[in-house]
Amino acid sequence: MQEKYRNFKQIVNIFYNEEINEINTNEESVKKLGDIKIEPQIYYDKFVGDMKIEFKLGNKKMYKIKNLAEFYTRIINQEFYRYGEKLQFIHSEAEFEQDSQGILNFIMKYAEIIKYANSNSNSNFKYYGKALNEANIIVGNSAIDDLFDVLEGRTVDFNRDYNKEKIEFTNEQPKIEFKLKRLEDGQYIIMPNIEIYKVNIIKGKKYKYILDDKKLYRCTREFENTTLKLLELFRQNYMTEVKLGEDELTDLFSIIMPKVKDAIIFENISGEEIEKYKPKELVIKVYLDFDKNDYLIADVKFCYEENEFNPLDEKTKLTFPRNILKETKALNILRQTGFMLDVKNLRFILPDNDKIYEFLTQEVEYYMQKFDVLVTDNFKRKQIRTTKIGSIGVKVENNLLEIDLKDLDINPEELEQIMERYSLKKKYHRLKDGSFIDLENSKEIEFLDKLVTGMDISYKELEKGEIDLPVYRSLYLNQLLKGIKGTQIIKNEEYKDIVNNLNKEQLEENMEVPEALNNILRYYQKTGYRWLKTLDNYKFGGILADDMGLRKNNSNFISYSGLCAKK
């Protein structure tokens, strides 16, 4: 019997042993990591900008990893390998010390690329060598970002120009400044405080880096877009200094200084001279109104203390320093909103209703944060309105259900257009007075729509404000009235009686089932009887559905005028 199921037993043993090994491995990894460390060796060619990295590993004695693809395979397969007399071990991640775990993950990521790039290379490569060198990792755009993440805060061996150095990977920003100096001839000069080609700029996928003789700096986005950008301009144009005259100081202070003010130092320039060319605080005023066509218009004024001007008026002669960057950003905000230039009136105009609605519901708040916004009374009158129904009168008189909708704050002549736009699921309707009605969040408009569509009412009837309907519409109306809040509902007693008497509890308590049917009908069938009888009392129609279980097809019963009676 044992021999018969030997193959199955073998499978069971394999799964069992693997599970036990996994448990033991997890327990060991929780207890302690190994003592093998990995040391990176970086080689940098500053003339071509190439960087590569090799690795040594060990504890008492360090050995170079000669083939990274093979090292990757050893880790994946947990193979035993002997590097030398003082280093031999089973390759498992748990054998490496904590500080080396990050660099081990870096090796595994890029060694896998090397392994499969070489194994999948065209067979012609066997005559020229492998596609990628297996002794080192070329540090490209993505790799420099990953490498910095691993080595941040650490100092590593760095080989440059055949010299071995120590380089610290740091998140600090380099101390790069630009001196603005006044010369004796009245000119000015800007020059960096470093030799511009002494540092190397390395581009990663996400970040830029600056390498000097002691540190590799990861630049922040702000540093990259300000100080580093100015340094790169010097380098790209092979400039060690830039001269400018007094007339150029305004542009310097209005365009360049706002971007790199923390990196500019002054020499031989007085505070009074700086204030003379430094722009005052810019205040942007936007005046909002609607014109005769109900287009939204915006008049813009730029204010520097007592100096106020229209930026669209090119004829205005200005002699004081301005913050050109902030001015340009402000005008771009209006353009991005959809405003167009009204050249004749030197202002901005927004003619599109959809964009006006979006401005009033969303953009205006942003404008109030960025600018001083001033509005006219005309603008205030044409805001987003919510419809209100002050009161609704409901009464039953002369066998008719009468609804009074005169207390509606909408011009009756515009009701049809409003309801048509609502049925098309539009966000808004613009009234003849230029204001907007919000159609998305109006319970009152929803009520009117259901009233029209559910009761087959014409818009002409709705416009009159008085609607006459058959009494059997009372229940449907009562359900609609529950959906609107804040509206006074005035009901006469007869209407209240109808609604109340159709309540289930009222039916059960107040209406008796004929004695001939009382012992035949079940409980829920008696409820059906009372319901139909009540409908008949108010001249309502009623239908018994097939699945109500009321035995309407039973030969003992027939239905007439909505009333069940014995044959």
More confidently predicted of 124 and 502: 502
User: So what's the pLDDT on residue 24?
Assistant: 60
247 shares a domain with 155: no
Question: Can you tell me the distance from the alpha carbon of 76 to that of 111, in angstroms, rounded to the nearest whole number?
Answer: 11
Question: Can you tell me the distance from the alpha carbon of 120 to that of 136, in angstroms, rounded to the nearest whole number?
Answer: 19
376 shares a domain with 398: no
324 shares a domain with 235: no
More confidently predicted of 321 and 368: 368
Q: Is residue 401, in this structure, part of any structural domain at all?
A: yes
Contacts of 466 (CB under 8 A, 6+ apart): 402, 403, 404, 405, 406
Structure tokens, 54: 């090799």
Q: Model confidence over 345-364: pLDDT tens digits?
A: 999 999 999 999 999 999 99
Q: Is residue 521, in this structure, part of any structural domain at all?
A: yes
Q: What is the mean pLDDT of residues 54-78?
A: 94
For residue 43, is pLDDT > 90?
A: yes
152 shares a domain with 51: yes
Of 324, 346, 381, which marks where a domain is finished? 381
Q: Is residue 443, in this structure, part of any structural domain at all?
A: yes
Q: For 405, how many CA atoms within 13 A lie in the half-sphere containing its CB?
A: 24
Report the SS3 class of residue 45.
Answer: strand
CB neighbours of residue 331 within 10 Å: 17
Distance linking the first and last C-alpha atoms of the chain: 81
For residue 557, is pLDDT > 50?
A: no
On whether the CB atoms of residues 435 and 418 are closer than 8 A, the answer is no
CB neighbours of residue 223 within 10 Å: 19
Q: Model confidence over 376-435: pLDDT tens digits?
A: 999 999 988 888 888 888 888 887 888 888 888 888 888 889 889 988 999 999 999 899
Structure tokens, 434: 């230029």
Tell me the β-bridge partners of 243. Answer: 189
Q: CA dist 413 to 364, 431, 457, 517, Å? A: 31, 10, 16, 56
Cα 219–Cα 224–Cα 229 angle in degrees, nearest 5: 140
Amino acid identity, residue 460?
A: K
246 shares a domain with 154: no
CB neighbours of residue 398 within 10 Å: 7
Q: What is the mean pLDDT of residues 180-202?
A: 91
Please spell the DSSP secondary structure of 346-388, one letter per residue: TEEEE--HHHHHHIIIIIHHHHHHHSEEEE-HHHHHTSEE---
Question: Can you tell me the distance from the alpha carbon of 387 to that of 429, in angstroms, rounded to the nearest whole number?
Answer: 11
User: So what's the pLDDT on residue 521?
Assistant: 78
Q: Is residue 457, in this structure, part of any structural domain at all?
A: yes
Q: What is the mean pLDDT of residues 167-186?
A: 92
User: So what's the pLDDT on residue 531?
Assistant: 67
On whether the CB atoms of residues 390 and 488 are closer than 8 A, the answer is yes
For residue 232, is pLDDT > 50?
A: yes
- CB-count burial class (<10 Å; 0-12, 13-18, 19+) for 417: middle
Domain residues for the domain of 93 are: 32-160
Domains contained in the chain, number: 6
**What does pTM read for this prediction?**
0.63
Q: What is the mean pLDDT of the chain?
A: 85
65 shares a domain with 119: yes
Question: Can you tell me the distance from the alpha carbon of 540 to that of 562, in angstroms, rounded to the nearest whole number?
Answer: 8
For residue 113, is pLDDT > 50?
A: yes
96 shares a domain with 186: no
Q: Is residue 165, in this structure, part of any structural domain at all?
A: no
Q: Is residue 450, in this structure, part of any structural domain at all?
A: yes
Q: Is residue 166, in this structure, part of any structural domain at all?
A: no
460 shares a domain with 409: yes
Please state, for a pLDDT cut of 90, what percent of the chain lies above it.
47
Structural element, H or E, at residue 146? helix 141-151
486 shares a domain with 374: no
Question: Can you tell me the distance from the alpha carbon of 158 to that of 316, in angstroms, rounded to the nearest whole number?
Answer: 60
Please state, for a pLDDT cut of 70, what percent of the chain lies above it.
87
CB neighbours of residue 246 within 10 Å: 13
Q: Model confidence over 430-480: pLDDT tens digits?
A: 999 899 999 988 888 888 888 888 888 888 888 888 888 888 788 788 888
Tell me the β-bridge partners of 157. Answer: 41, 166
303 shares a domain with 219: no
Contacts of 235 (CB under 8 A, 6+ apart): 196, 197, 201
Of the pLDDT bands very low, low, confident and very high (cuts 50, 70, 90), residue 1 is low
User: So what's the pLDDT on residue 27?
Assistant: 53
Question: Can you tell me the distance from the alpha carbon of 378 to that of 229, in angstroms, rounded to the nearest whole number?
Answer: 48
Of 381, 404, 425, which marks where a domain is finished? 381
On whether the CB atoms of residues 44 and 159 are closer than 8 A, the answer is yes
For residue 542, is pLDDT > 50?
A: yes
Report the SS3 class of residue 478.
Answer: helix
Amino acid identity, residue 315?
A: K
Q: Is residue 372, in this structure, part of any structural domain at all?
A: yes
11 phi, psi to nearest 5 deg = -65, -45
301 shares a domain with 271: no
- Residue among 321, 285, 330 at smallest CA distance from 303: 285
Q: Model confidence over 6-36: pLDDT tens digits?
A: 777 778 777 777 777 766 655 544 446 789 9
Query: Can you give 65-126 as a three-state secondary structure string?
Result: CCCHHHHHHHHHHCCEEEEECCEEEECCHHHECHHHHHHHHHHHHHHHHHHHHHHCCCHHHH
- CB-count burial class (<10 Å; 0-12, 13-18, 19+) for 71: buried
Q: CA dist 180 to 105, 187, 278, Å? A: 47, 11, 14
Of 248, 277, 306, which marks where a domain is finished? 277
485 shares a domain with 401: yes
Q: Model confidence over 239-296: pLDDT tens digits?
A: 999 999 988 888 888 888 888 888 899 888 888 888 888 888 999 999 999 999 999 9
Question: Can you tell me the distance from the alpha carbon of 79 to that of 72, in angstroms, rounded to the nearest whole number?
Answer: 10
For residue 299, is pLDDT > 80?
A: yes
Tell me the β-bridge partners of 55. Answer: 40
User: So what's the pLDDT on residue 23?
Assistant: 65
Tell me the β-bridge partners of 82. Answer: 88
- Residue among 543, 542, 550 at smallest CA distance from 524: 550
